[in-house]
């Protein structure tokens, strides 16, 4: 018999992680970098000066990075989507009429073969 060595990939179904950023936060960070690149190019083309462009994009990068890393640490992989969905739910459902419940009929039918 041949002695075979099989490697087991223990990272299956794990979300990707890059330097502490998980899942969708990597895309948010990439969007931040691309946006800051466009801002710097626009400022440079308008003649605002290199030092002003670097300071504006540097401060934007610092603030955005801290915010994105904070969101990643606070909410995790799916927590930000869950928090956004929770905000859209109504706290209370109010019904000022009983008409819906009076017209409601509950039908039980068995499906037999």
User: pLDDT tens-digit profile of 72-83?
Assistant: 888 888 788 888
Q: Is 25 helix (H, G, I), strand (E, B) or coil?
A: helix
Residues 6+ apart with CB under 8 A from 91: none
Checking if the pLDDT of 56 tops 90, the result is yes
Please state, in angstroms and as integers, the Cα–Cα distance from residue 41 to each residue in 49, 51, 62, 83, following that order: 11, 13, 18, 35
3-state SS, 29-80, equals HHHHHHHHHHHHHHHHHCCCCHHHHHHHHHHHHHHHHHHHHHHHHHHCCCHH
Model pLDDT for residues 33-48, shown as the tens digit of each residue = 999 999 999 999 998 8
Average pLDDT for residues 84-95, to the nearest whole number? 84
Average pLDDT for residues 57-65, to the nearest whole number? 95
The pLDDT, as a whole number, for residue 110 is: 60
Q: Using an 8 Å Cβ cutoff, are 30 and 16 in contact? A: no
Largest Cα–Cα separation, the chain: 80
């Amino acid at each position: 018999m041949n002695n075979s060595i099989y490697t087991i990939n223990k990272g299956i179904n794990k979300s990707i992680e890059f330097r502490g950023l998980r899942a969708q936060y990597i895309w948010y960070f990439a969007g931040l970098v691309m946006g800051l690149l466009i801002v710097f190019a626009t400022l440079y083309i308008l003649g605002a000066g290199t030092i002003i462009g670097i300071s504006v994009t540097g401060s934007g990068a610092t603030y955005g990075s801290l915010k994105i890393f904070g969101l990643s640490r606070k909410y995790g992989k799916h927590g930000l989507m869950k928090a956004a969905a929770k905000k859209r739910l109504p706290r209370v459902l109010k019904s000022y009429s009983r008409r819906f419940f009076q017209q409601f009929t509950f039908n039980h039918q068995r499906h037999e073969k």
